[in-house]
């Protein structure tokens, strides 16, 4: 313990140490603040939408108090499906600046392309990415950690003092581990502390588990990079060589492997053309439109219970029948699209262990509630809601039934149900286990190399 404190004192005696720690602390504060501001903006926009929905429901309720209403008067107004603000927004902006958090769903446009709009954003800013806490933790944290710990023993070896140290009879791996801890601990403490602080700032209720997991993942990620520093020092003959190797390791794990994985995933499972999907959808709509009356007659043959009195065909019933036909025609195309995308994400889930930076990135977005899977859940629930909306209004239109006050309780309204916590917990914990296994493997490789005879050579 005494030696650990000595190492700490030596570490803090350097001016460069304070510069590194101050810059890192500044980055953490700036990143957390940015994530927090993005979360506040999202919350404000969600509140506006919720208020609009409440106002509309009140108007409908007031109108129904007076008299029954034709369903068209209500169904023609789009319903807004809202993805509620992320549970821990300050952790990571994730995909929330790119993917729309609400979607207008209109009964008469169920088969049209999505009308969800993301916030107005400069595309160059989307390309650069946000300076949020996740950026600081995934990209900068390892850099600062390596800056603090890249020279664990390489400098001593270069100066010839390593032989003297080893002559004291100390076990090399223990000595190096102590030094790594002393140099890495201040950076680690800052990173974990900032994660806990950001996690509790403006977080929704019941998010304690997310915050604790986030701090644990950050800690595991830090251990991995300290293990890398140890491995590099077990081999490097000079401090400059250690710095070169540390820089290269950072580039490989944080820059090259994730971008390479992206390219490989997109090449092996290319997403079908969105442009063609749109054009095909319109072709199907055009064909169905031209067979409109025929489709409606066939629909009434299949569903005589929904046939209106006297089998009169009206515009809305025709639109709904056409829409159903378009949905049937487009289902396989949409399925192909969804499957290709799911394959891409599955491949990322499998290969994320190639780089702890990927695991960390995915885990923080997952825990913040701004990642792919929460949005996917939102999209799946929208698809279900569209069916619900159609199922509710379709019989009323076909049978010319007016809406009454009694119907109010059954009005379809979109309400997002959060993804089962067991699912995201499993994704995050398996990712974290992966980082720890990698850290252990690297650490063991370093320890094996750290024999006195090899180290002093």
Partner 1 sequence: MMFTIARKEFVEALRDGRFRVGGVLVLVLLVVAGLLARQQVDRARVERDAATSLERENWLEQGDKNSHSAGHYGVNVFKPTSPLAFFDRGIEPFVGTAVFLEAHRQNQSAFLPAQDATSMRRFGELSAALALQMLVPLLIVLLAFGALAGERESGTLRQVLSLGVQPRTLVFGKTLGLALGVATLLAPAAAAFAFLLVSSAPGETSGMWMRAAGLILVYGLYLAVLLVVSVTVSAVARNARTALTVLLAFWAFNCILAPRLASDLVHRFLPTPKLADFDAAMQKDLQEGLDGHGARSVQLDNFVARTLNEHGVSRVEELPFNFQGHVMLESERMAGEVFDHHFGKLWDRIEAQDRAVGWAGIVAPMLALRSASTAFAGTDFGHHRHFARAAEDHRREFVRLLNEDLKFNARPGDHGYTAGRELWEKLPVFALTPVTVGTAWGRAGSSALVLGVWLLAGLGFLALSAEGIRVGDA
Between 95 and 170, name the residue whose CB sits nearer to partner 1.
Answer: 95
335 binds partner 1 (CB under 8 A): no
Q: How many residues bind partner 1 (CB under 8 A)?
A: 76
In the complex, what is the shortest distance from the CB of residue 380 to partner 1, in angstroms, rounded to a whole number?
A: 16
Q: Which of 121, 294, 314, 420 binds partner 1 (CB under 8 A)?
A: 121
409 binds partner 1 (CB under 8 A): no
47 binds partner 1 (CB under 8 A): no
Between 129 and 391, name the residue whose CB sits nearer to partner 1.
Answer: 129
In the complex, what is the shortest distance from the CB of residue 302 to partner 1, in angstroms, rounded to a whole number?
A: 25
Distance CA 128, CA 292 (A): 48
Between 135 and 224, name the residue whose CB sits nearer to partner 1.
Answer: 135
Q: Rounded to the nearest 5°, which phi and psi values hold at 404?
A: -120, 175
Distance CA 242, CA 153 (A): 9
Considering only residues 151 to 170 of the shown chain, the ones binding partner 1 according to CB under 8 A are 155
For 289, the token pair is 């439109």
Distance CA 190, CA 18 (A): 13
Between 403 and 435, name the residue whose CB sits nearer to partner 1.
Answer: 435
Distance CA 351, CA 344 (A): 11
Between 158 and 388, name the residue whose CB sits nearer to partner 1.
Answer: 158
In the complex, what is the shortest distance from the CB of residue 371 to partner 1, in angstroms, rounded to a whole number?
A: 7
21 binds partner 1 (CB under 8 A): no
Between 48 and 73, name the residue whose CB sits nearer to partner 1.
Answer: 48
261 binds partner 1 (CB under 8 A): yes
Considering only residues 342 to 381 of the shown chain, the ones binding partner 1 according to CB under 8 A are 344-345, 348, 357-358, 361-362, 365, 371-372
Which stretch, 202-210, 220-228, 276-284, 427-435, contacts partner 1 (CB under 8 A)? 276-284
Distance CA 146, CA 184 (A): 8
Considering only residues 279 to 298 of the shown chain, the ones binding partner 1 according to CB under 8 A are 279-280, 282-283, 286, 289-290
Three-class secondary structure assignment of the chain: CHHHHHHHHHHHHCHHHHHHHHHHHHHHHHHHHHHHHHHHHHHHHHHHHHHHHHHHHHHHHHHHHHCCECHHHHHCCCEEEECCCCCCCCCCCCCCCCCCCEEEECHHHCCCCCCCCCCCCCHHHHHHCCCCHHHHHHHHHHHHHHHHHCCCCHHHHHHCHHHHHHCCCCCHHHHHHHHHHHHHHHHHHHHHHHHHHHHHCCCCCCCHHHHHHHHHHHHHHHHHHHHHHHHHHHHCCCHHHHHHHHHHHHHHHHHHHHHHHHHHHHHHCCCCCHHHHHHHHHHHHHHHHHCHHHHHHHHHHHCHHHCCHHHCCCHHHHHHHHHHHHHHHHHHHHHHHHHHHHHHHHHHHHHHHHCHHHHHHHHHHHHHCCCHHHHHHHHHHHHHHHHHHHHHHHHHHHCCCCECHHHHHHCCCCCCCCCCHHHHHHHHHHHHHHHHHHHHHHHHHHHHHCCHHHHCC
In the complex, what is the shortest distance from the CB of residue 378 to partner 1, in angstroms, rounded to a whole number?
A: 13
404 binds partner 1 (CB under 8 A): no
275 binds partner 1 (CB under 8 A): yes
Between 297 and 345, name the residue whose CB sits nearer to partner 1.
Answer: 345
Q: Which of 247, 395, 412, 452 binds partner 1 (CB under 8 A)?
A: 247
Considering only residues 69 to 108 of the shown chain, the ones binding partner 1 according to CB under 8 A are 94-95, 98-99
Between 324 and 362, name the residue whose CB sits nearer to partner 1.
Answer: 362
Between 61 and 262, name the residue whose CB sits nearer to partner 1.
Answer: 262
Considering only residues 176 to 215 of the shown chain, the ones binding partner 1 according to CB under 8 A are none
In the complex, what is the shortest distance from the CB of residue 248 to partner 1, in angstroms, rounded to a whole number?
A: 8
Q: Which of 51, 61, 73, 248 binds partner 1 (CB under 8 A)?
A: 248
In the complex, what is the shortest distance from the CB of residue 186 to partner 1, in angstroms, rounded to a whole number?
A: 18
Between 127 and 417, name the residue whose CB sits nearer to partner 1.
Answer: 127
In the complex, what is the shortest distance from the CB of residue 173 to partner 1, in angstroms, rounded to a whole number?
A: 25
Q: Which of 8, 265, 307, 401 binds partner 1 (CB under 8 A)?
A: 265
Q: Which of 106, 170, 244, 425 binds partner 1 (CB under 8 A)?
A: 244
């Amino acid at each position: 313990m005494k030696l650990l404190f000595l190492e700490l004192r030596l570490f803090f005696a350097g001016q460069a140490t304070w510069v590194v720690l101050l810059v890192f602390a500044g980055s953490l504060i700036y990143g957390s603040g940015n994530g927090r501001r993005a979360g506040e903006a999202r919350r404000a926009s969600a509140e506006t939408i919720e208020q609009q929905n409440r106002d509309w429901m009140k108007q409908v309720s007031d109108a129904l108090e007076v008299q029954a209403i034709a369903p068209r008067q209500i169904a023609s107004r789009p319903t807004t499906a809202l993805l509620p603000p992320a549970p821990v927004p300050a952790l990571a902006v994730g995909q929330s600046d790119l993917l729309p958090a609400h979607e207008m769903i209109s009964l008469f446009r169920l088969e049209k392309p999505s009308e969800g709009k993301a916030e107005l954003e400069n595309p160059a800013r989307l390309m650069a990415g946000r300076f949020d806490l996740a950026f600081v933790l995934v990209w900068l944290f390892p850099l600062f950690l390596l800056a603090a710990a890249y020279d664990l023993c390489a400098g001593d070896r270069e100066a010839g003092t390593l032989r003297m140290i080893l002559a004291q009879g100390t076990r090399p791996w223990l000595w190096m581990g102590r030094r790594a801890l002393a140099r890495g601990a201040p950076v680690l403490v800052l990173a974990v502390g900032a994660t806990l602080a950001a996690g509790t700032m403006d977080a929704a209720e019941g998010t304690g588990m997310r915050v604790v997991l986030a701090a644990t993942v950050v800690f595991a990620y830090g251990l991995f990079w300290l293990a890398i520093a140890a491995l590099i020092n077990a081999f490097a003959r000079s401090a400059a060589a250690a710095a070169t190797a540390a820089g290269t390791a950072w580039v490989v794990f944080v820059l090259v492997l994730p971008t390479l994985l992206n390219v490989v995933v997109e090449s092996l499972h290319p997403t079908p053309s969105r442009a063609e999907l749109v054009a095909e959808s319109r072709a199907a709509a055009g064909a169905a439109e031209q067979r409109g009356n025929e489709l409606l007659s066939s629909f009434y043959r299949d569903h005589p219970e929904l046939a209106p009195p006297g089998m009169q065909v009206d515009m809305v019933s025709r639109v709904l029948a056409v829409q159903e036909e378009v949905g049937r025609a487009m289902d396989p195309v949409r399925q192909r699209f969804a499957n290709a995308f799911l394959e891409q994400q599955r491949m990322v889930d499998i290969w994320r262990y190639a780089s702890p930076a990927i695991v960390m990135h995915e885990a923080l977005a997952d825990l913040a509630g701004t990642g792919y899977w929460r949005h996917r859940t939102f999209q799946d629930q929208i698809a279900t809601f569209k069916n619900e909306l159609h199922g509710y209004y379709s019989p009323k239109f076909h049978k010319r039934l007016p809406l009454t006050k009694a119907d109010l309780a059954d009005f379809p309204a979109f309400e997002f149900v959060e993804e089962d916590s067991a699912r995201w917990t499993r994704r995050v914990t398996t990712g974290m286990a992966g980082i720890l296994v990698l850290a252990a493997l690297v650490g063991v490789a370093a320890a094996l190399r750290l024999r006195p005879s090899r180290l002093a050579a």
